[in-house]
């Protein structure tokens, strides 16, 4: 297994389907069904942004997952101190490869990236009904530090 950086937007569109389909199942009132052409157009625009990095996990040269990450700079405000983080916008692993250590390997690569850049914080978010993500991040020692709530009217 190895992790490579990629700008192959068609590959990102394909690999993101796994997590998107999960979101559709969990929150059909918010998420549209996967549409390959729309996803290709979306990722085509994203891969050209210098602030984003796409890490692709390969097993025997077969892409099995990816993470979209960004180095974020948070400026000092009157409330908070300045800091940096590596923000994981999305992680997606092929349905056939889940629960086999691939996601953990991908997150280890994110940690290595943060370490190389001298950054001591990795941040991300996930939908509260996503028990798979909740369990995965707890296993990987992520700590909940903020929760978002809403009230439906």
Could you tell me if residue 149 is inside a domain? no
Q: CB of 55 within 8 A of CB of 66? A: yes
Could you tell me if residue 147 is inside a domain? no
Burial class (CB in 10 A: 0-12, 13-18, 19+), 83: middle
- pLDDT value for 1: 86
Could you tell me if residue 146 is inside a domain? no
Burial class (CB in 10 A: 0-12, 13-18, 19+), 64: buried
Could you tell me if residue 111 is inside a domain? yes
Q: CB of 133 within 8 A of CB of 127? A: yes
Could you tell me if residue 53 is inside a domain? yes
Tokens (6 digits) for 77:
């405000």
The count of other CB atoms within 10 Å of the CB of residue 87 is 19
Could you tell me if residue 86 is inside a domain? yes
Per-residue model confidence as pLDDT tens for the chain (153 residues): 899 999 999 999 999 999 999 999 999 999 999 999 999 999 999 998 888 999 999 999 899 999 999 999 999 999 999 999 999 999 999 999 998 999 999 999 999 999 999 999 999 999 989 999 999 999 999 999 998 898 989
Q: How many residues can be counted in the chain?
A: 153
Tokens (6 digits) for 13:
């569109």
- pLDDT value for 89: 96
CATH code: domain of residue 90: 3.40.630.30
Show the domain range for 24.
2-139
What's the number of domains the chain is made of?
1
């Amino acid at each position: 297994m190895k992790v490579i950086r990629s700008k192959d937007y068609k590959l990102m569109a394909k690999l993101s389907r796994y997590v998107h389909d999960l979101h559709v199942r969990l929150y059909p009132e918010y998420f549209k069904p996967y549409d390959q052409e729309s996803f290709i157009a979306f990722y085509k625009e994203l891969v050209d942004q210098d602030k984003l990095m796409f890490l692709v996990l390969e097993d025997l040269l077969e892409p099995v997952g990816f993470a979209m990450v960004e180095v974020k700079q948070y400026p000092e405000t009157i409330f908070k101190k300045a800091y940096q983080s590596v923000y994981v916008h999305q992680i997606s692993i092929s349905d056939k490869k889940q629960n086999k250590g691939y996601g953990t390997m991908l997150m280890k690569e994110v940690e290595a990236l943060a370490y190389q850049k001298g950054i001591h914080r990795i941040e991300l978010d996930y939908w509260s009904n996503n028990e798979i993500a909740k369990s995965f991040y707890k296993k990987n020692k992520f700590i909940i530090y903020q929760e978002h709530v809403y009230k439906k009217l």
